[in-house]
A = this chain, B = another copy of it.
Amino acid sequence: MTKKKQEILLAGISVDPDSDIAMYRQLYESLRQAILQGRLRPGHRLPATRTLSVELGVSRNTVLLAFDTLLSEGYLKGKTGSGAYVSDDLPEKLLHAARPAAKASSMRRNRRTGSKRGKLMAAYAAPVGESRPFKHGMPALREFPFDVWSKLLTRQMRRLPYTFFGYGEAAGYRPLREAIATYLRTARAVHCEFEQIIVINGSQQALDLTARVLLDPGDKVWIEDPGYLGARKAFVGAGGAIVPVPIDQHGINVEKGKQLESQARLVHVTPSHQFPLGVTMSLSRRLQLLDWAAESNAWILEDDYDSEYRYSGRPLSSLQGLDSNERVIYMGTFSKVLFPAMRLGYLVVPPDLIDMFVSAKSVADRHSALLEQAALADFIELGYFGRHLRRMRLLYQQRQQALLEAVNQQLAGLMEMTLSDGGMHEIGWLPGHLDDKECAVRANDVEITAQPVSEYSLRYGTRPGLVLGYAAYNEAEIKTAVQSLATVLQY
């Protein structure tokens, strides 16, 4: 081997003594790339390790280790010390395949795409970002008893046997399912046994699993219009054909839905507190919806996302509890009552769908994280859940009032607000000549988040309005934020 050849070889081979990566690993990688890219051809004899160590200024052990690895992986043949050569049973064609992707034609690039379903799932992204007035859907995190939560986690870590930390049941941790069933029966008049409860990772997974279990591609789904975007994502992602149905003061307009598509397979509703409009679905509308579902063999997905917060009127019992035909799948989440980062929620499914839903959960991700399920079961059973809920109900009601007062004082003539019976947000209705999207952009300029209502509409527009979440912000923050809003809405 001549000096020249070594130089050619060494041109592409380098090691960086300051790198975090071990020297032998760097050398190994350099040589491997040279082989794969054809700079070192099959049969090419490599310099002696001693020579290479001198040339590269590394220890001989480094070189030996790199060579050993390449020998054991089949890139080199022969002996480590000297006489190693590039393996000649790596066919030229295969080596070629491993060259850099420059050759990929633009046609190929164009075909570098996922499935149609993948594209549909990508069509919407979840909003992420800091919490500031009036970002909605956010509970008062400052008020959550994280010290208690931390203690319950630690307590369960100590109490639970190590065998608990293997795989669990797909439907969830049984004590949690029992606690949820008891809560729902008493607080929401849901008719259920614990076997019908499936613990899932928050309401988005409830939507996704329901869409996948109940819809085949092309199946029609009634969605509320305006309505929750997360639901739309899940149904579209599962290939469902969405049918927007308008909302009136009684909730979803069932008659209109029937006219539009009487043979829908599924309907998604938020009867306790319609998102985003805040309407409570009336009893006769509820019965009408159940009647239609029973007659047309459709499923109702009742999304009770923030029903825990009711400040006036009496809490209406769930749609599920009214149904005698087992046509309702009920879903709820702990994101709004406790905190979103926990990622826990539940589905209540009719008995004959249990197996299918449990299997779907198992295929989706086997089961939800167990330690947090165990801590949550404790949190409910030991009474912390009820206590936190009562505190938040009082607090949020005060904040709702504070928002109303601030709006009436600061935004008189510019914004109209009628309080709904509960929830965590209100709509601030704007004069008809304003564009709510434009107003949202102006609000953002003064660091106020205010989603335009029109963003939630597909076909049935409403008056322009802004969705104002209030639960996570104290009265002073609310007041200041409304003042800021006033400065930009007067244009």
Residues of A within 8 A of B (CB): 20-22, 25, 29, 32, 36, 68-69, 72-75, 89-91, 93-101, 104, 108, 111-112, 114-119, 121-126, 128, 130-131, 138, 141-142, 144, 146, 149-150, 153-154, 157-158, 162-170, 182, 185-186, 189, 200-202, 204-205, 208, 212-217, 219, 233-234, 237-238, 282-284, 287-288, 290-291, 294-295, 297, 313-314, 316-317, 322-326, 335, 339-343, 350, 352-353, 355-356, 358-360, 362-372
**Residues of chain B contacted by A149 (CB below 8 angstroms):** 157
CA distance A316 to B72 in the complex (A): 8
CA distance A314 to B70 in the complex (A): 9
Shortest CB-to-CB span from A111 to chain B, Å, is 5
**Is B214 within 8 A of A95, CB to CB?**
no
* Cβ-neighbour of A93 out of B69, B205, B291 (below 8 A): B291
Beta-carbon nearest neighbor of A151 in chain B: B154
**Residues of chain B contacted by A168 (CB below 8 angstroms):** 128, 341
**Residues of chain B contacted by A205 (CB below 8 angstroms):** 364-365
Q: Which of A68, A325, A335 has the most CB of B within 10 A?
A: A325
**Residues of chain B contacted by A219 (CB below 8 angstroms):** 115
* Cβ-neighbour of A118 out of B20, B153, B212 (below 8 A): B212
Shortest CB-to-CB span from A40 to chain B, Å, is 15
Beta-carbon nearest neighbor of A288 in chain B: B94
Q: Known contacts A72-B314, A97-B290, A291-B93; is A343 also within 8 Å of B369 by CB?
A: yes
**Residues of chain B contacted by A94 (CB below 8 angstroms):** 284, 287-288, 290-291
Q: Known contacts A73-B316, A101-B325; is A213 also within 8 Å of B121 by CB?
A: yes
* Cβ-neighbour of A323 out of B98, B138, B294 (below 8 A): B98
CA distance A314 to B66 in the complex (A): 11
* Cβ-neighbour of A167 out of B101, B323, B326, B340 (below 8 A): B340
**Is B121 within 8 A of A363, CB to CB?**
yes
A98-B324, A117-B213, A118-B214 known, 15 other contacts, Cβ within 8 Å: A69-B314, A89-B284, A97-B291, A97-B325, A98-B323, A112-B297, A112-B326, A117-B238, A122-B359, A146-B157, A164-B341, A167-B341, A204-B362, A343-B369, A365-B365
Q: Which of A75, A116, A165, A322 has the most CB of B within 10 A?
A: A165
CA distance A356 to B144 in the complex (A): 34
CA distance A326 to B101 in the complex (A): 8
**Residues of chain B contacted by A233 (CB below 8 angstroms):** 362-363
CA distance A326 to B287 in the complex (A): 54
Shortest CB-to-CB span from A142 to chain B, Å, is 5
**Is A141 within 8 A of B121, CB to CB?**
no
7 tightest CB-CB pairs across the interface, nearest first?
Answer: A97-B291, A94-B287, A122-B359, A341-B370, A118-B213, A205-B365, A74-B283
CA distance A168 to B204 in the complex (A): 14
Q: Known contacts A141-B163, A214-B114; is A360 also within 8 Å of B74 by CB?
A: no
CA distance A356 to B126 in the complex (A): 12
Shortest CB-to-CB span from A476 to chain B, Å, is 17
**Residues of chain B contacted by A108 (CB below 8 angstroms):** 297
Q: Known contacts A131-B166, A146-B162, A157-B146; is A186 also within 8 Å of B21 by CB?
A: yes
Beta-carbon nearest neighbor of A219 in chain B: B115
Q: Which of A154, A353, A358, A366 has the most CB of B within 10 A?
A: A366
CA distance A167 to B284 in the complex (A): 36
**Residues of chain B contacted by A114 (CB below 8 angstroms):** 213-214, 353, 356
**Is A325 within 8 A of B104, CB to CB?**
yes
Shortest CB-to-CB span from A115 to chain B, Å, is 4
Q: Which of A96, A297, A339, A365 has the most CB of B within 10 A?
A: A365
CA distance A165 to B322 in the complex (A): 35
